[in-house]
Structure 1
Amino acid sequence: MQPTTKHPLTKHRTRHRAALVGGAALVTGAALLAGLGVPATASAAPDVTRASRSATIADGGTTASRLDTATERRNRCAVVTLLTRTFVDPTSPAARRLAQTLVAPEAVTHTNGASAGPAGVLAEFAADRARVPGAHTVVKHVAADGDLVAVHWQVAPDIHDERRGDAAVDLFRLRDGRVVEHWSLDQAIATGKPASGNTNTMFSDLYRPARPTPPPSERQEERNRTFAVSAYDTLFRDHDVSVLDRDFDPAYLQHNPVAPNGTAALEQLFGSGAQFPAQQSVISLADGDLVWTFSQPVGAAPDAPLLAADLFRVDGGLIREHWDVVPTS
């Protein structure tokens, strides 16, 4: 069976109707907070980073214009083609040829010990297939912003079942149409009835606005990005829960099975006196009504791993829906 995608390769897509589930139950308190938490144990640090952490935070991780829609469309197409066509058999000659076309020889894959260039990217895809035998790529959300492309996808043994396999977010940086950096985050999809009672999947799109709204402009996307990143940092770096009343829909939709819908559980958890490690967004993208953030601990070294990927739907000046992928190791 061929890989499955659920989007046209255009800047403003028809809103996907697939669902994300926050996979494995997390043991730290922050992980219970709308799926925005820190895993108990950080993964091995990546080998290389391109810029200082302060510079990364300042520009949200991109080194290119966020208003260049033509380049963003080409980058998005290149990444989706790379993922869906090579994932079928990353070891095949066809996959190697395509990867050599779309991945720069010096490309860095941010996994400890990973090879550089096309081989490093293909090895990550092969590892995904090893975890989930017979897996297919089912793309749920894609964002292209500046020189970054992020893909939220299911490593799916059954393309019709969103509750099996892994949830993944892969992040790519491109230069001149070729991948030069790659990060990969994955989380097993939880099975069984979650204790939180939240039965949303890790991939479904459930939010329906009160009235139809046009796709946001590029400038509105940028406003949404700075808004959501500020909300994330205010809550998880500054531990200021007042942001929940200002910036979140009280009934926002949650796609992590360890957290129920709405802000009440977050307010209760932060008000419990529990201590949560401070973390902040270091890379972020906006595309359509979705904002993506990638976080690290506050004070982390430049080569520290990414802790989590979070997606927020922003509509009418509020965060309405949230998905995440939080590696457990």
Structure 2
Amino acid sequence: MSTVEDRNKAIVREAFDTLFNKRDYAAAERFWSPGYIQHSAHIAPGREGLFDLVRSLPAQLRHECELVMADGDMVMVRGRFSGHGRPAPWIAADFLRLEDGVLAEHWDVIEEEATRGQSLSGLPMYGDDFPEEH
């Protein structure tokens, strides 16, 4: 990787895959700071709050990453969470601050993915298809 931004994007991609898709909590610990600060209204404080949330979700949980952007130590991930047991996948924008190569702080914006019938624009929220077309 040639820049701090490229390195940080790669760290976040690997961290998300390790925790949400592989569910390898021991390996995920190296990506999340023990002092991790959680700003999400949906997740209990700290690294353990996040890990406990993931542990409570069905094994089918998947995170798909569509876009990763970085500015210095701030990284934004636009993705889809599916298989969490809710009626519709979540489309999320996750904002992470890295410190010394680990995830130190997190904010998010989450909404349920719209079906074709719900989309006033007539366009999918994520990718090229609506969730019912997968």
Give the secondary-structure state (helix, strand or coil) at the position aligned to 2:3.
helix
| Pairing 1:108–2:61 present | no
Give the equivalent residue in structure 1 for 2:132: none
**Could you report, residue by residue, the CA deviation over 1:169-209 in whole angstroms, capped at 9, with x for unpaired residues?**
1111001101110123221112351373x22111237xxxx
Question: What percent of counterpart residues are identical?
Answer: 24
Larger Rg: 1
Separation (CA, whole Å) in 2 of partners of 1:195 and 1:81 = 32
Give the paired residue count. Answer: 123
Choose between structure 1 and 2 for higher RCO, CA contacts under 8 A separated by at least 6 residues: 1
Cα contact 1:76–1:142 (8 A) shared by 2? yes
Q: Partners in 1 of 2:94 and 2:124 — Cα distance?
A: 19
Secondary structure of the residue aligned to 1:194 is coil
SS in 2 for 1:144: strand
**Cα pair 1:104 1:180 within 8 Å, conserved:** yes
RMSD: 2.5
Cα distance, 1:123 vs. partner?
Answer: 3.5
Q: Pick closer, same or farther for the CA change 1:195–1:87 going to 2, 3 Å.
A: closer
The 8 Å contact of residues 108 and 120 in structure 1, kept in 2 or not, is answered as no
1:154 to 64, 80, 86: 80
Following TM superposition, where does structure 1 have runs of at least 4 consecutive aligned residues deviating by more than 2 angstroms? 120-127
Aligned match for 1:77, one of 10, 32, 37? 10
Q: TM-score, normalised by structure 1?
A: 0.34
Q: Give structure 1 stretches of 5+ with no counterpart.
A: 1-9, 11-68, 158-163, 206-329
Answer yes or no: is 1:178 the counterpart of 2:111. no
Gap runs ≥5 in structure 2: 129-134
Which of 102, 110, 117 is matched with 1:193 structurally? 117
TM-score by structure 2 length? 0.76
Among candidates 139, 151, 158, match of residue 65 of structure 2: 139
Amino acid across the alignment from 1:156:
S
Secondary structure of the residue aligned to 1:179 is strand
Which has the larger share of strand? 2
Partners of 1:80 and 1:110 lie apart in 2 by 20
